[in-house]
Amino acid sequence: MNITFHGAAKGVTGSCHLIECAGQRILIDCGLYQGSREIIEENAEPFGFDPASIDFLLLTHAHLDHCGRIPLLVKRGFKGVVITTAASLELARLVMLDSAGLQEEEARYQQRKAKRQQNSDKDIKPLYSILDALNSLEFFGRQAIYGQSEQLAAGIQATFFEAGHILGSASILLQLEEKGEVRRVLFSGDLGYGGRAILNAPDRPPKVDTVIMETTYGDRVHKQLQPSIEELYGVINETIGRGGNVIIPTFAMERAQEVLYFLREGILSKKIKHFINVFLDSPMAISATQIFARHPECYNTEALNLFNEGKDPFGFPGLHFTRETTESMAINQVSGGAVIMAGSGMCTGGRVRHHLKHNLWNRRSSIVFVGFAAQGTLARRIIDGAKTVKIFGEEMPVQASIHTIGGFSAHADQTELIAWHAKTGNPKTTYLVHGEEKSMKSFAAKIQATDVRIPTLHESFEL
């Protein structure tokens, strides 16, 4: 029995871990690397294993850095079975098709650029195409149900538990048996926390021998949620009052829906004092919001009660869904009084960059970051205090008011991660993944564990 770390090793993105047991090869996640161009280019590198040799892929959740290389895996020969929850299947379809469209668009742009530079012999292909993404959906098989064990093969069982991170997210327990040896291995996936606006809290983890644990926020504690909500309302009131716009770079899944939920609460309670036009300018976020409506089984009691009463937890006066490019472009004529939510959350692509171009220089406007920003991303440079940033090749002064509101994170913070780990029953070995190295080291010093390891890329261990 072995485990090999083929992604998110001393890094935050590209989750991909391989278990080998009893002649079976099981992959946990297969995500894209995100961040700087150098990091992104790693996506085209070999996986570190033969895709055709993988029997099962267990998907913890549908964020791009966990599912985004599945179409590439299939393109390079994967013929196994992908297992995930029903909600994650719907969201992964959306995410992978969107990613494929962006890959094709980028390839066309680079091809035109090469032609302008008289490098017309250069044939630039996308990492994978929309057709590749559609083909990959054919390999999604059995749907996992929280708490229900799934027999993958002789001696191998998988059980999905609610992770409370995004809709359909899961921690995954593998019970492995080979040559009379039994191991219980738990993959945390990305963890949320209790008291969220929409989703259930994470399930209590089972007691295990080995934990593979995310550490995105392993070195810090979030602001409390309620003060964060009040801070958001305050920024909106102040910005609209001085005639500016509020730009919220938004992750399409969970963050967009959660912010809509709080905006609705603020408008109905009149804590937001001005009438505002709210633009959800993200086709993917709009589709994700519709998927949320189809999966109330993932809601907590409060959100479920609203749903059962026939109320839309995400709808309110002044909300506009803008799918078409022309609608998105028209928003840039709005000089004030708007809250504009657009992707991507780390500002690495998508429509938010256009809205930043039209507002980042404006002292009346505000940019509000409500999620994690990886090293090398445009969002991180702005958060870290850059005086100017380059957007579409143009150097842009950063003069808008910049706010980082950490309480909206869909990730558990250090305190919550420590508490979750403590419930796993003093595992023999804990592997830390999916975090920056300083975060991992900080977290390793905090937990009570016999053996804590921080694997490097493609490093293998015997279980």
Per-residue pLDDT tens over the stretch 75-132: 999 999 999 999 999 999 999 998 999 899 888 888 888 888 776 667 888 999 999 9
Minimum mean pLDDT range among 28-37, 65-74, 128-137, 264-273: 28-37
Q: What is the pTM of this model?
A: 0.88
Confidence of residue 361 (pLDDT cuts 50, 70, 90): very high
Residue 164 has pLDDT above 80, yes or no: yes
Cα gap 410→390, rounded to integer Å: 28
Paired tokens of 350: 């998508």
Q: What is the pLDDT of residue 120?
A: 63
Per-residue pLDDT tens over the stretch 64-78: 999 999 999 999 999
3-state secondary structure the chain: CEEEECCCCCCCCCCCEEEEECCEEEEECCCCCCCCHHHHHHHHCCCCCCHHHCCEEECCCCCHHHHCCHHHHHHCCCCCEEEEEHHHHHHHHHHHHHHHHHHHHHHHHHHHHHHHCCCCCCCCCCCCCHHHHHHHHCCEEEEECCCCCEEEECCEEEEEEECCCCCCCEEEEEEEEECCEEEEEEECCCCCCCCCCCECCCCCCCCCCEEEEECCCCCCCCCCHHHHHHHHHHHHHHHHHCCCCEEEECCCCCHHHHHHHHHHHHHHCCCCCCCCEEEECCHHHHHHHHHHHCCHHHECHHHHHHHHCCCCCCCCCCEEECCCHHHHHHHCCCCCCEEEEECCCCCCCCCHHHHHHHHCCCCCCEEEECCCCCCCCHHHHHHCCCCEEEECCEEEECCCEEEECHHHCCCCCHHHHHHHHHCCCCCCEEEEECCCHHHHHHHHCCCCCCCEECCCCCEEEEC
Cα gap 214→440, rounded to integer Å: 9
CA-based Rg of the chain, rounded to a whole angstrom? Answer: 22
Residue 435 has pLDDT above 90, yes or no: yes
Burial (CB count within 10 angstroms: exposed 0-12, middle 13-18, buried 19+), residue 317: exposed
Residue 158 has pLDDT above 70, yes or no: yes
Domains of the chain: 2-220+411-462 (3.60.15.10), 225-408 (3.40.50.10890)
Residue type at position 64? L
